Amino acid sequence: MSGIVTSDTHAENRQREDICFWAGSLFARGLTGGASGNISARTADGGLLVTPTGSSFGRLDPARLSRLDAAGALVSGDRPTKEMPLHSAFHDTRAGVGAVVHLHSTHAVALSMLPVDDPDDFLPPLTPYALMRLGKVRLLPFFVPGDAGMGEAVRGLGGKRSAVMLANHGPVVASKDIEAAVFAMEELEETAKLALLLRGTGALGLDAGQVRAVVDKFDVEWDG
């Protein structure tokens, strides 16, 4: 019977609204500008809702979000972001992922252009909350935007990381839902900002024992 609104339809409509709400919030606070950044969210039937290519986070239309089926084919809405290989890699390889957020946030990008001690652990351990929300963040090399190699690099991590930093490009975070992914992304950007503010000052971050205490208490995925 036509016209029946199911619980799955309600849930998807809510996801559409959530994507637009959080995207608008990120845009309004200057965490991504112009037509940069993209978000994807897993739907109840195994498909994806994705922000369209060339769209601004400041004026997304819930009805025009790209709707992909479980096989990755576009079934409605505008054409999806060119970074689909990146999003698909997280959704396909990491258990429990409900949403992926990719931004071009200023401080994280700036930090990615500076020498790092360990690309496998890009963010310095400055606060417990970055550890709790992100675990270790892997710095990946530069890829031309839209390059399928980005997705291949994420797949090469075997689902062991919830966040990566694309050098000279921007951070990518996966989490259980849109809100959690946005919160984790904000923590990444704030930690990068702290790292830049404190660079060369001799400020003390968390030592190895303190890191381990946080990792153990909050069951942070860390050693893989």
Report the phi/psi class of residue 54: left, alpha or beta, with left for phi > 0 and alpha for psi in -120 to 50. Answer: left
Write out the two tokens for 69.
Answer: 């089926």
The Cα–Cα gap between 146 and 210 comes to: 39
Which residues form the catalytic set? 129
Angle value at C-alpha 137, between 12 and 194, nearest 5 degrees: 100
- DSSP secondary structure string for all residues of 62-105: GGGSEEE-TTS-EEESSPBPTTHHHHHHHHHHSTT--EEEE---
Which 3 state secondary structure label does DSSP give 24? helix
Question: How many C-beta atoms lie closer than 10 Å to residue 224's C-beta?
Answer: 10
